[in-house]
Amino acid sequence: MSSSSVSPATQQQQQRRHGSSSPSSFPAIPRRAMSGGGCSVRAIWILTPHDTVAFSRRFAVVEKRWRESWEADEGYGEGEGRGTEAAPTQQPADHEVAAAFAERRRREGTARGSGIRTNVSSVGLDSWVDDPITRHIISLYIKKEEGDGYMLWPVVLQKRGGYYVLVLPLVDPQSFRAYENLLKRSDCGSSAKENGNLSSILLNLPCITGAFMVGHVLGDIITADIAEPEVIVSSGPTVGGLLDSLTGSIGISARAKPIAAPVAAPAALASSPVGSAQSESLKGGVRPFDKDLLRNFIIGAMPFGTPQDLNYANVTSIRATGFSGDPLPTDQKQPAWKPYLYKGRQRILFSSLETISAALYDRDDVSDFLSISGQVTCRAELEGLPDVSLPLAGLKTAHVEVSSFHHCVQASEPTDNKQTLVFQPPLGNFVLMHYQAPCNIAPPVKGFYQLSMVSENEGAFLFKLTLMEGYKSPFIMEFCMITMPFPRRRVASYDGNPSIGTASMTEHSIEWRIVSSGRGLSGRSIEATFPGTVRFLPRTTQRTNSLLRSVSSTAFAEDSDSEQDNVKNGASLDDYIMEKINKDLQAVDLEEPLSWQAYNYAKVSFKITGGTLSGLTIDPKSVINRLKLHFALVNIYPSVKAPAEYSMQASSGDYILWNTLGKCPTAALPREF
Amino acid sequence: MPAEGVSIGVEAPTSGEDASPGMVQNGGQRGSSSTTTTTTTTSGTSSRRGGVERLLPPTTSPPLPSFLGGPGPRPTKQGKETKTRVGRVQPNPISRETLPNSDPPPHLGCSSPAMDRQPPAASLSPQDWEQLLDDFASSSQPPSRRDRWLHLPLLDLAVSSLPRRDLPSHLKPLILSLLDDHLLPPSPASLPAFLASLHAFPPDHPLRDHLLTTVVSAFASALAAPLSQHRDAPPLAALVDTLLAAANRPNHAPDRAARALACDALRTLDAALPGLLADSLGHLYALAAAERSPAAQSYLLLLASAARHAVRLGRLASPASVLAVAGPPTPFSVPAHLLSPPHAASPPAPPSEANVRDVRKVLALLMDRPQVLTPAATMEMAAILAEVASAVLEWAPAVAAHIKVQFGGMVHSSSPMLLHSLLTLFVRFPDAFGAEDERTMVRRLALAAREAHRPLAVRLLALHWLLGSGRFANLVPGLTQWFYPAVFDPLALKAKKLDCLAYVAAGVGGETVSGGRASDQVAGLLDDGLACVSAFRWLPAWSTETGVAFRALHSVLVDAAPHSTDGTRCSGAEDQGLVPVIADFSNRLLACDSHRWAGERLLRTLDECLLPRLEPGYQLASYYPLFEKIAQNETVPQLRLIELLTKQMVSLSKKHGPDTELKLWSQGSKVVSICRVMLKHHHSARVFLPLSRLLVLAIKSFPDLEVRDHARVCLRMLSCVPGKKLRHLMGVGEQPSGVTPSHPGSLFDMPSPRPAQDLKSMPDLASYIHLERVMPLIVKQSWALTLPNFSVQSRPSGSILSIQDVSSAPSEQENPTGPAVKRIGYAQETLRVMDSKGAETLQILRRYFTCIPDYLHSSGLKIRIPCTFRFDSEPFNGAWGSDLPASGDGADELPALYAVTITFSSSAQFGNIPSCHVPFILGEPPGSGMDIVPVDNQNREESSYCASVVIELEPREPSPGLIDVSVAANTENCQVLSGSLQPITVGIEDMFLKASLPPDTPREGVAMYYHDLFQALWEACDSSSNTGRETFPLSGGKGSAAINGTRSVKLMEVTSKVLIGAIERYLASFVVSVAGHSLVTILRGNGVIKNVIWEENVSDASVGADALVPYSPDSNLQLQLIDDDDIGVSAERYGHESKRDMGVVRVMIFLPPRYHLLFLMEVGCASTLVRMRTDHWPCLAYVDEYLEALIS
């Protein structure tokens, strides 16, 4: 009676009989791995930074499947390298999960873990597997007061708004064991060429990907980051999302969502005197979230643990408003992601939003790095279920490196220079495509930044910049600001006047507003210089207690022997000071691109409207070939008369002027083989 | 029946039982109402269901101990909490009513305050629910707060509460959530109650969706095949009926969400009870085909799921069509296969033709427009499609192509779920997706990692997918340029991209082994890749960049491209901050069996490339961890390291200043400890010379005393203790080395374990420990004049007897019968007349005597007797036991002695004999022939079985004697061994020395000098000589010597050949001159005797005889006196022989402390006459013996 499952067991026995290989072996995908199908979630927990459970949700249906698959697996093939621990068929209580998570944080250094194997890693820790993904797909060891504990894996972890979102998907027992073996192998680490490596496990488990998306949406909800992508209309501010469409009202929407990397991200990080390692453990400050909202969403999106639709706007709209009078299309299936049809004045809007990242060195030996990450957002207010066809041309000449599309888009294979997008637009705002491209125009801010320390607490700096060179109307630089962050020094005073704009200081930075909002820079280029000096308060030795540091800086750091002779070998004062400062530099998280605090740099923030930097523009009304990439005429079938609007905007992401006189991070450019 | 139970339970009055807590609740309930039935059933079932721990053991298990134990404080606590909740409860009029008396709530009717005021069993007030929900929500605390609710039939309560109108509406979703989270799975017996509450709800109630979800979850989680026909099947059939009825209204617009949910619910039930809907496949197909609303997705998924189970059940094999429709979908009856126990699975039969067609029809519908599905649903659909399509792929191969056409477009999607779904299809249907698709796919994955807008985890996942499939392996190298990390890539991504580069590098290395270009490429690839984390060279060692960089190096290594590592690494290693990281890194490699070679190679590389570039100085200290690693490794040659360390020591010594003492000490000790490590891990032979040089340097010149001391200990160990024993020794007492000391014997431990055995109890030490002369004595002088001194530690040797008076004879010496000795009296005469020849003689003597050390006032001349020291293993082991673990290696099994001290004493006039030390000696292996070691005092590389020991005597008088030997040593197991050995015999020939040479003597004048000295001494020892009255000052000028000569002769009746052989063998170095043509010819030809005066032309003996050998009647007489027996024979023969004289050999021997023995050997063919003169007459007694032995 208890060994109840009939069909899966026999199924699996058959597979075994037919010599189907074990899950870790490769490349055959075990049938069993697929037998659960897709993605089902056993449980969801949301933990606070205080290691308490703020929200939890279990799916008894999925849990039963997990138990059955495990029991079926236990039923035969005794002792084929399975773990000695108790079968992880139990479901942990909330407090056990919280305790396990706290314990993991203690063992791994941070809540996310170190991700790479360090000298504190030991067998059984995620970092023993030595892969950065183990910061996102973690294992939790549930300890039982009596009896053996057991492991939870894979727990997909996301940190959002101070909360930790944990999603535990259903996997087959074989994959579970394969990972357990990885955790326990005693050698120095696995190779991508071996069987049973982490990569092949992950490839066989789409549920992890699904769980990640679930966690992502839940994170969006608890951080209230649920606005739809921004679509800018030239006539007014941004337009609203799905709800606005439903009500037929078009107009002002307060929900502005910054695209991609927020401008202030590195600066915010840099201005915090403590490193990210500590900011993770910052207590308090987490905003409570609406649990009912979350519960409602889960009931709508994944009533039985298997996600159906993870689109927040759709799910909540359906649950909130239902379908009273909405007619059905007569001839074709209405997509699941378009539960409502639009009614009203028809138009179609496109926006190009680009984020430019730049590393400007002003050095002979290092070439500048400029990269644009862009997206085209769309809002199609069209009645019925029309197909919109959008031929793309000039992909190659615009050097578009990557592009990916909304799932409503049926993109043809890009042939030579052309690619046609056919899509049935969903309701509301959506990101039609993402792309990566180089900057096909001169960088909007170029020049150099130099900072030289004349003494330990005083430095001289110089900016010499050119703004908007080569940009003609209608490009408008709406604002431009430069920040010199000194995250680990406290600015006492600064001296010097910029040739244009105003300068100000904060505790840990100096800010220079070259173009302030309201007085945009259009149709001309300007030169801006800013020589000056900056004085810092004397350094107080910060004894940081970062775990990573205290552990990994072994005896030598404390060893008086390794003290450096002062300014030796003619090394510059700058180097000396940097070196001295860097002694208590903290290790950054793997999520950071580099140790920001180890460098001197100036960060540029700006916003440019009226064009794109990649050169990609859309003119839906006429085919123009002025720029390298264009969208040809938009075709809508069945044809309707709908005006199209297009707007463009570019803003800065990590736009960094590295101190020409200091150290700078670089990366090699691909070479041909 | 159970439904009744529930209803009664609801009505049941509050259980005001006064039964004692504990069993209690159960008992009370059991007695009070028919709820009991329900509860017992519940409990029985849940415990039967596999002991899965759940929060709800509804009343099954006896109430929890914590509940039992905590009746005291709880009421107050609960009271408080109830009060705090007032604000939230306010909107509810009922709670407001009860508020004044809320402690305790009136309807609870709690009579006894001693008994915990438990919530009522049958129905809970809104306040109670609030409280309960709150307790369950407070998850962080240990679940004690929940425990008090657990005795209640919470499930039934919750279900029955839902239709209640008195509950505030905001509580109901919370109660449902409570059910979802904590109370599922229920027992099958309570399912009808669920069903009833579902039916009781109006269909348009806002909570109905949630309730439906919960009810279906309850069914799906509680039921498993085989179902009980009477208990489980009816409610299940009723539920399915309801759901099918809801779903069976395609294209009904307003309730599309409800219909979709019904589909999803059916799918869930189908998944829990496989094949539940297999018989309804035809209906489902029709519904899915007809539906046009967005709910179509749910219909399609339901169809897919049902089809999957039909396939799994083997329905395809039956001739009946799976899509056949027998009647209307409702009423539904549970299929038979779910009611019977599982039968043994038969191997899948091939599908019937009709069913292949049907499945293709189903697949065609499912794949019609996958674009209408959401990404999440597509993922589900792809998994099902893959399974269903695989089942019929053999008979309908076109299905795969269809899948490719319909899903291939997802490759451009920005949704990771779609990408992964496509990937699973891709892996599942390799034939459908050709090489071109593979390339596209791989390229997309590589590019996906570059898309900045994607979440980091997705970018990482994309790279994992790429590496995870073997199908992509050969394509990955073509994507090298996409793996180059960018400046602003997060470090995690950089790390993963570097993994990919390493993978590529390994591929390049593996494929094109031939050319050097490949390795250039690989190195270039890595250099480029590492540029993005190049900051590790100057950032602190704990920086993340460093971790990433070294992880990348490691992944290169394990991907088997070792040749590419060199260049990059060394440049990094030059930075001292990284040293611990590198050390860790090499540790990690060395710890792994399969990659030890890589670690060793790394160390070798470091040794080759890094060490030559390092400069000595204080900064070098940061490299010590690395040096230690190098020193530990046996495969790395150590010479460079030693050289560097030597330089370092020199530089440290030079930089020595008053303020650097501490540093000096610390650095010096570290260097020495590295030497120690080296000692421990290397065969001493290989590192012996340089290492000993380094240590000697440290001993000699290092400013710090302790360091010098340590170095001395190390040097001592290095030079004395060989091989494994040394390593064993070094290992002892070092915890980190991991070698647990097998026994406490160690240089550093207190020697405690066994009491030092009594000397007397070791009488047989001499039988297996041997101290033997290297050169056996010619004279087996067993009759030595001195008495053996048996008391070992008796008086201090060195008390010198009878040396005050030059002329006084040693008292205890007794003249044996021997050659006649003429005693020359000593008379003090101050006035003398001397001829010129006498004056010359005197001058020679004076000059000579000033070279002789004055033993009275300073140290005298030393006699060295080389000996060998050894001991036999077997008897030793027998006597002392060997607890050394036999480790199979020859030398290891042998016993060893440590710190052997050999002390000597003698009753003879040998002065103070210094003791000898043998630091280490192995026992002689049994059965092996004792190898004769050529003794050379300078050469310490002796056999390990045999130590050479040199006994140094400072004789006060040249006489033979016995030296008593006692020995003390440590055995390996820390016992102290001591006792006496066989005494060493000292013969007269041990006293033979060459006369000392004045320092200003030119080299070519040596022979002549000796010749002249001989003549002078010969003269002086003549009794007639007037030099007898002369005193000669010794070296230092304080003491002086006088010569009192004695003469003697001896006839040696041997052939010249024998005699010459004996001379050449024993006396060669003392020969001063050779006269006589034939003798000169022979001796010179033999070439043994060198640097003497050859008097060839003096062929006629008379000249020599005249000048040097005044044959006086006295002499002859004396000779006759000596040789009483054959005096006649001698005299008679003499005449003959003298005619056949071959020549004369003059021999001059110095006897310490200041005496001489002169031979004038007149060599004849058949006999030789030896004329002797000496200034120390007692020696003649031994000389005769000696000469006899010489020719015997």
Phi, psi (rounded to 5 degrees) for B690: -60, -40
* Ranges in chain B, pLDDT < 70: 1-123, 138-145, 342-348, 507-523, 556-622, 634, 656-659, 683-686, 719-763, 780-835, 856-858, 879-893, 926-944, 973-974, 1023-1029, 1037, 1097-1140
Instruction: Tell me the one-letter amino acid at A61.
Output: V
Highest mean pLDDT among A119-123, A519-523, A533-537, B779-783: A533-537
Q: In chain B, whose CA is at the least distance from the CA of A211? A: B417
Long-range Cβ contacts of A498-502 (<8 Å, 24+ apart): A498/A463, A498/A528, A498/A529, A498/A530, A499/A527, A499/A528, A499/A529, A499/A530, A500/A526, A500/A528, A501/A528
pLDDT one-digit tens code per residue, A129-180: 888 899 999 999 888 777 778 888 899 999 888 899 999 999 988 889 889 8
pLDDT higher for A656 or B736? A656
Reading phi first (left if > 0) and then psi (alpha if -120 to 50, else beta), residue A348 is in beta
Verify whether the Cβ–Cβ distance B184 to A60 is below 8 Å: yes
Which residues of chain B does A318 touch, with a Cβ-Cβ cutoff of 8 Å? 257
Q: How many CB atoms lie within 10 A of CB B402?
A: 17
Closest CA to A48 of A286, A214, A289, A221: A286
What is the crossing angle of helices B661-681 and B684-701, to 10°? 160
Verify whether the Cβ–Cβ distance B173 to A673 is below 8 Å. no
**B234: cis peptide before it, omega within 30°?**
no
Of A67, A133, A673, the CB nearest to B460: A133
pLDDT score of A495: 92
Strand order in the sheet with B961-971: B916-922, B896-905, B961-971, B976-986
- Say what the pLDDT of residue B597 is: 59
Alpha helices in A187-309 (DSSP H): 198-203, 206-222, 242-247, 265-271, 276-279, 291-301
Q: Do A370 and A443 form a contact (C-beta atoms < 8 A)?
A: yes
Residues of A with Cβ-Cβ distance to B521 under 8 angstroms: 673
**pLDDT value for B1097:** 64
Give the integer Cα–Cα distance in Å for B1071 and B971.
48
User: Which helix (H) or strand (E) segment is B570 a member of?
Assistant: helix B566-573
Put simply, whether B225 touches A (Cβ < 8 Å) is yes
Beta bridge partners, B1144, equal B1075, B1162
Q: Do A38 and B379 touch (CB under 8 A)?
A: yes
Kindly state whether B534 is in contact with chain A, defined as any CB-CB distance less than 8 angstroms: yes
For residue A332, give the nearest of B292, B450, B471 by CB distance: B292
Phi–psi pair at A77, nearest 5 degrees: 60, 55
B226 interfacial to chain A (CB closer than 8 Å): yes
Cβ neighbours of residue A550 closer than 8 Å, sequence gap 6 or more: none
Contact B376 A373 (CB under 8 A): no
Do residues B491 and B548 make contact, with C-beta atoms less than 8 angstroms apart? yes
Per-residue model confidence as pLDDT tens digits over A369-428: 889 999 988 888 888 888 887 777 666 767 787 788 998 888 777 666 677 778 888 888
SS3 state at B483: helix
Measured between beta carbons, the chain B residues lying within 8 angstroms of A7 are 225, 274-275, 309, 312-313, 342
The radius of gyration of chain B's CA atoms, rounded to the nearest angstrom, is: 55
How many residue pairs from chains A and B have C-beta atoms closer than 8 A? 530
Residue with tokens 């010096």: B668
Q: What stretch of H or E contains B1093?
A: strand B1093-1095
Cβ contact B559–A52 (<8 Å)? no
pLDDT recorded at residue A539? 77
| Cβ separation A332–B538 shorter than 8 A | no
3-class SS letters over B109-132:
CCCCCCCCCCCCCCCCCHHHHHHH
CA A665, distance to chain mean position in Å, is: 21
A63 and B220 in contact by Cβ < 8 A?
A: no
Put simply, whether B451 touches A (Cβ < 8 Å) is: yes
A284 sits in the region (left: phi over 0; alpha: psi -120 to 50; else beta) called left
Concatenate the DSSP letters of all residues of B1120-1149 into one string. Answer: HHH--TTHHHHHHHHHHHHHTEEEEEEEEE
Give A63-93 pLDDT, tens digit per residue. Answer: 988 888 888 877 544 444 444 455 677 788 8
Query: In angstroms, rounded to a whole number, what is the distance separating the alpha carbons of residues B557 and A171?
Result: 32
Cα separation values, B409 from A210, A422, A431, Å: 19, 11, 17
Residue B651 in contact with partner chain A when CB distance is under 8 A: no
Of A6, A197, A335, the CB nearest to B274: A6
Selecting from B348, B374, B494 the residue whose C-beta is nearest the C-beta of A336 gives B374
Residues in A closer than 8 angstroms to B295, CB to CB, are: 336
| Residue B1017: closest CA among B1151, B858, B863, B835 | B1151
CB contact under 8 A, B539 and A585: yes
Cβ of A434 and B456 within 8 Å?
A: no
Q: Cβ contact (<8 Å) for A61 and B294?
A: no
- In the 8-state DSSP scheme, what is residue B428? H
Q: What is the pLDDT of residue B406?
A: 87
Residue A45 tokens read as 């927990």
Nearest-angstrom CA–CA distance, B1041 and B1034? 7
Distances (CA, A) of A46 to A289, A302, A642, B30, B740: 11, 17, 45, 40, 49
Contact B868, B774 (CB under 8 A): yes
Distance from CA of B486 to the nearest CA of A (A): 6
Distances (CA, A) of B1004 to A82, B1008, B1091: 91, 8, 9
Contact yes or no for B377 and A311 at CB 8 A: no
CB B520 within 8 A of CB B555: no
What is the tens place of the pLDDT at every residue in A35-58? 446 889 999 999 988 888 889 899
Instruction: Locate B382 and state its tokens.
Output: 């792809």
Q: Is B173 on the interface with A (CB under 8 A)?
A: yes
Closest CA to A181 of A161, A164, A200, A203: A200
Q: What span, in angstroms and rounded, lies between the C-alpha atoms of B1058 and B63?
A: 116
B343 to chain A: closest CA residue? A6
Q: Is the peptide bond before B104 cis (omega within 30 degrees of 0)?
A: yes
Q: Distance between the two ends of chain A, CA-based, in angstroms?
A: 63
B272 contacts A335? CB cut-off 8 A: no
What sections of B909-1021 are H helices per DSSP?
1006-1021
- Main-chain phi, psi angles of B935, to 5 degrees: -85, 125
pLDDT number for residue A606 = 93
Burial group, residue B444, by CB count within 10 angstroms (0-12, 13-18, 19+)? buried
One-letter amino acid for residue A368 of the chain: D
Q: Nearest Cβ partner of B427 from A29, A565, A585? A: A29
Number of alpha carbons in the 13 Å side-chain half-sphere of residue A259: 28
pTM tops 0.90, yes or no = no
Contact B418 A68 (CB under 8 A): no
Amino acid at A84: T
Q: Do B547 and A114 touch (CB under 8 A)?
A: yes
> Is A173 within 8 Å of A35 (Cβ atoms)?
no
In the structure, what pLDDT confidence band is assigned to residue A18 with cuts at 50, 70 and 90? Answer: very low
Query: Is the C-alpha dihedral spanning A505, A508, A512, A518 positive or negative?
Result: negative
Choose among A112, A450, A478: nearest CA to A277. Answer: A112
Q: How many other C-beta atoms can be found within 10 angstroms of the C-beta atom of residue B706?
A: 12
So what's the pLDDT on residue A182? 86
Q: How many CA atoms lie within 13 A of A536 on its CB side?
A: 20
How many angstroms separate the CA atoms of A606 and A613, rounded? 13
**CB-CB neighbors (< 8 A) of B450 in chain A:** 401-402, 436
One-letter amino acid for residue B334 of the chain: V
Rounded-to-integer distance, Cα B958 and Cα B205, Å = 130
Helices B705-720 and B661-681, packing angle to 10 deg: 10
